[in-house]
Amino acid sequence: MYVDFDTLKDNSRVWVYQSNREFSADEMETISVRLKNFVNEWTRHGDDLKASFDIKYNHFIILAVDESFNQVSGCSIDASTHVFKHFEKEFELELLNKLNTAFKHGDHINVVSLADFQKYVKEEKIHPDTASAWFRNFKGAANPLRYPFSGHGNTHGLYSDDLLSRLFYRHTVVHLHVRPALCRK
């Protein structure tokens, strides 16, 4: 059952789907309508899932489920993945490629492969002075994750395995794997 995103509990399970390009206005409308219909009918073995989604920066779709209501199952996760695969095919974009990374330069979101990102860092084409924020996409339980979606700050407290914290020790990171309550506009 679809609920307003802002009403989901902070410990809801979250998936972030990062597009390799910005969505057009028509794509945003189509995706929103179809996702709302999907989420409204989304079940786990016949039991409703309390879920919602949000679209940020015309690049990121955040799907979240309140597992205190009903937990997702492998079949329900597969059903959601099928929806995103359909979007990829219909709109000729990538949403499931976790080897892409995004960073913000001014008002523009840039998406490059992780290999290219590392190459650009070594070549000093990307560094803390040229990009205002990096985006980390993540799926899983949201409650242990601390950083607001649109927040800016330093890297103190970043996970030690974070590629970006290994590449730079001072930069802004926009963490997409956050509590739904912090994803509000």
Q: Give percent of the chain above pLDDT 90.
A: 32
Residue 129's pLDDT band, with cuts at 50, 70 and 90, is low
- Phi/psi at 63 (nearest 5 deg)? -110, 130
Say how far apart CA 47 and CA 54 lie, in whole Å.
23
User: Can you list the positions of beta strands (E) in the chain?
Assistant: 13-18, 43-44, 47-48, 51-56, 60-65, 100-105, 108-113, 133-136, 139-141, 173-175
Say how far apart CA 70 and CA 43 lie, in whole Å.
9
Q: Give percent of the chain above pLDDT 70.
A: 68
Is pLDDT of 25 > 70? yes
Q: What is the pLDDT of residue 183?
A: 41
Centre a 10 Å sphere on the Cβ of residue 35 and count the other Cβ atoms it contains: 23
Pairing of strands 133-136, 173-175: parallel
Which are the contacts of 5, defined by CB distance < 8 A and separation ≥ 6?
52, 53, 54, 62, 64, 180, 183, 184
Containing 30, the helix (H) or strand (E) segment is helix 25-41
